Amino acid sequence: MKRSLKMAVVSVVLSLQFLAVMSCTVATNTNNSAATNGNTNTPAATNSNANLSATTGNAALVADVTAKEKQIWDALKSKDHEAFGKMLSSDFVYVSNDVVADKAGTINGLKEFAPTEVTLSDWKSVVLDEDAVVLTYTVDAKGTAGGQPLPPGALRASSAWVRRGAEWLAVYHQDAPVEATPTPTPAAETAKPAASAAANTNTASAAKHAEMVAADDPVAIEKHIWEVLKQKDWDAFAAHLAEDQLEVGPSGVYDKATTLTNIKQWDFTKSTPSNFKGTKLADDATLVSYTIKGTMPDNKPFEERASSIWVKRGGKWLAAFHMGTPVVKTPAK
């Protein structure tokens, strides 16, 4: 296996450990992501969300998922890959810096993974509804993959679980290397358009925003979000985020308030999203994945794999989760 794929295999496994440990330490590095929910090169603030999911009557739900994670880890330690596979949905999706894998690819990769020491921390969660949970955390593992030592360095990982019928199944996982060296942060843009131009833009934006609020297609709404960001219509952007929204990138985990602060440092006209794909997780939850190419605030080019999870609440689709993973293209041997 390639070196980066070895780490990818590790994070797939560990993603399915979520909720085994409940820690609330927040990383304070800076972010290289230009994700839809505004991942920026800004120091991560303390997450005022304070794990909202665990404090709004969902403790029992979280506990149920914890029990499933213990079963998965037990299957991994005993190399019971058949049992492990039964806990993944048939449409399972895994996203990393060098690979996008389905259920079969994930299970096959696990066969070469042999952990000896695993540290999980910084847990945060979003309960989408009584049948869907998203969790993000930091993982550091030691061991081997394909008989070779795992490369050093922690990963920031996220997973989504849904209850289908009587079973909880893992449907999505994504990871990104924890950013070790902060990227210089440019000053936030303060310039405003001329009054007449602003009025025309705001009128058109308001009309489009009203149209998208009533839309029933999360993929179309995600695309619209990018137009909103390019117009610097921060209020319209905020209206599309759930109150318990989490954003995840190499530098940390951000709540809604921090996301709304960070996005103002980006010029989204320099970013181009493409290859949008929607995956239905539940009746009221959809994963939207795509690729972004563009320029960061420090003028460095970037490419990343982005994922958003939209949830329907009160008849309106809201973005409850977003993650971006920088793409690393490793030459084949």
Q: What is the pLDDT of residues 110-168, one digit of tens each?
A: 888 877 777 778 888 899 998 999 888 888 888 888 889 988 899 898 889 999 999 99
**What was the pLDDT predicted at 80?**
83
Contacts of residue 251, Cβ cutoff 8 Å, sequence gap at least 6: 27, 29, 30, 31, 32, 33, 39, 41, 44, 178, 179, 182
For the chain, the average pLDDT equals 76
Pairing of strands 88-95, 167-177: parallel
The pLDDT-based confidence of 264 (bands split at 50, 70, 90) is: very high
Helices (H) and strands (E) in the chain, counts: 8, 13
What dotted CATH number matches 195-326?
A: 3.10.450.50
> Are the C-beta atoms of residues 169 and 87 closer than 8 Å to each other?
yes
**What was the pLDDT predicted at 181?**
57
The pLDDT-based confidence of 331 (bands split at 50, 70, 90) is: low
Q: What is the pLDDT of residues 93-115, one digit of tens each?
A: 989 888 889 999 989 888 888 77
Mean pLDDT throughout 228-245?
95
* 55 DSSP 8-state letter: G
Contacts of residue 273, Cβ cutoff 8 Å, sequence gap at least 6: 36, 223, 226, 290, 291, 292, 306
CA angle 120, 296, 289 (to 5 degrees): 60
Give residue for tokens 């990871």: 175
Closest CA to 236 of 191, 205, 264: 205
- CA–chain centroid gap for 11, Å, is 13
**What was the pLDDT predicted at 296?**
84
CA dist., res. 224 & res. 219, Å (int) = 9
Q: What is the pLDDT of residues 10-55, one digit of tens each?
A: 443 343 333 232 223 223 333 333 344 444 333 333 343 434 444 4
* pLDDT at residue 203 is higher than 90: no
Where is pLDDT greater, at 92 or 78?
A: 92
Whole-prediction pTM: 0.77
* pLDDT at residue 261 is higher than 90: yes
> Are the C-beta atoms of residues 78 and 70 closer than 8 Å to each other?
no
Q: Report the CATH architecture of 3-177.
A: Roll (3.10)
Q: What is the pLDDT of residues 296-323, one digit of tens each?
A: 888 889 999 999 999 999 999 999 999 9
CA dist., res. 267 & res. 280, Å (int) = 31
Mean pLDDT throughout 55-60?
66
CATH 3.10.450.50 boundaries in the chain: 3-177, 195-326
In the chain, what percentage of residues exceed pLDDT 90?
Answer: 40
